Amino acid sequence: MRIETPKNRGQVSLLSKILLFVFIAMLPLLLSSPKSLTASRGMDRVNGVKILVLNYHKVDNQNISLSVLPKDFDRQMKYLKDNNFHTITMDEMYAALTEGAELPENPVVITFDDGYDDNYKYAYPILKKYGFKGTIFVITSFLDRNQPGYITWGQAQEMESSGVINIESHTVTHSSMTEQTDEQLRYEMAESKRDIEQRLGKTVGFIAYPTGTFNLHIASLVKEAGYKGAFTIKYGNVDRASNLYALERVPIFHTEDTYRSFLERLQYVPVFERLGWIKS
């Protein structure tokens, strides 16, 4: 049994005040419709347009957090389509951030990490169905090299050529970058970039940090390797205040109510930014 003292009574009181503040701050969110909140994402007069970057992994029928069911992914894409979201490419995002290039209303970048074969089987046709574009960050050593469950270079070429999917780097081996030497890091960055460029005949400009781990030194090596930007798993919108080598994303997972979770994540980002809890 816990004995309540004046000290812990004060702690409980402070916690209660914090929870009350959070509830009051979130009340407009709870009472508003998804459409009205997403429409408010809008433009920041200082930092420009807010770009929503969604982060997926698998799109298949496994009952695990990283696997969004195809029917759920389809429903999420339909929501974006019905609510006037427009997918943009990495280069369009980069031009907006660095040159102030104009973007469509409610811009969204759809990304997938690792390069699972279900991205080709399920996500790719669903994106085509809604006229959307996406980016897959691939682990290059896993393509065509005795790693079942990942896309092949042939599938990567097909998707890249279609204009629907953009293939970018997720390094060679998906090893945590904070646990590697500079020599290993340079290899992971340069070799994956070179491999994609040679096999697909394109320029690779972006990388996603494996497991999201990085630091400022690693970011400097990414820039040195010729990348224009790098993505983390930090929660938030991207705008001109973002670090190009630490770009924010909104991760999407399979939950007990995946669609509700998806809507909540879209809604929380602008609310949290207005409250100053994440970068505004």
Q: How far apart are CA 123 and CA 70, in angstroms?
A: 7
- Per-residue pLDDT, averaged over 239-263, amounts to 94
Q: Are 115 and 142 in contact (CB under 8 A)?
A: yes
The first and second tokens of residue 155, run together, are 């599938």
Nearest to 177 by CA among 205, 128, 219, 141: 219
Q: What is the pLDDT of residues 71-113, one digit of tens each?
A: 999 999 999 999 999 999 999 999 999 999 999 999 999 999 9
Mean residue pLDDT of the chain comes to 85
274: how many CB neighbours lie within 10 A of its CB? Answer: 13
Q: How far apart are CA 258 and CA 223, in angstroms?
A: 36
The first and second tokens of residue 22, run together, are 């959070």
Q: How far apart are CA 219 and CA 246, in angstroms?
A: 8
pLDDT of res. 39: 39
Point out which residues pair with 206 in neighbouring strands.
Answer: 229
Quickly state the pLDDT bin for 46 (edges 50, 70, 90): low
Percent helix, strand, coil in the chain, to 5, is 50, 20, 35
Q: What is the pLDDT of residues 186-201, one digit of tens each?
A: 999 999 999 999 999 9
Q: How far apart are CA 130 and CA 127, in angstroms?
A: 5
Q: Are 106 and 85 in contact (CB under 8 A)?
A: yes
HSE, side-chain direction, 13 A CA sphere, residue 206: 24
CATH superfamily of 32-275: Glycoside hydrolase/deacetylase (3.20.20.370)
Q: How far apart are CA 140 and CA 65, in angstroms?
A: 24
Q: What is the pLDDT of residues 161-195, one digit of tens each?
A: 999 999 999 999 999 999 999 999 999 999 999 99
Nearest to 53 by CA among 94, 25, 82: 94
- This prediction has a pTM of 0.82
Q: Are 67 and 254 in contact (CB under 8 A)?
A: yes
All structural domains of the chain with their residue ranges: 32-275
Instruction: Identify the top-confidence range among 23-32, 139-148, 222-231.
Output: 222-231
The vertex-132 CA angle with 144 and 214, nearest 5°, equals 60
Instruction: For residue 220, give every residue at least 6 positions away whose Cβ sits within 8 Å of its Cβ, in sequence order, or none.
Output: 245
34-43, 123-132, 202-211, 224-233: the lowest-pLDDT one: 34-43
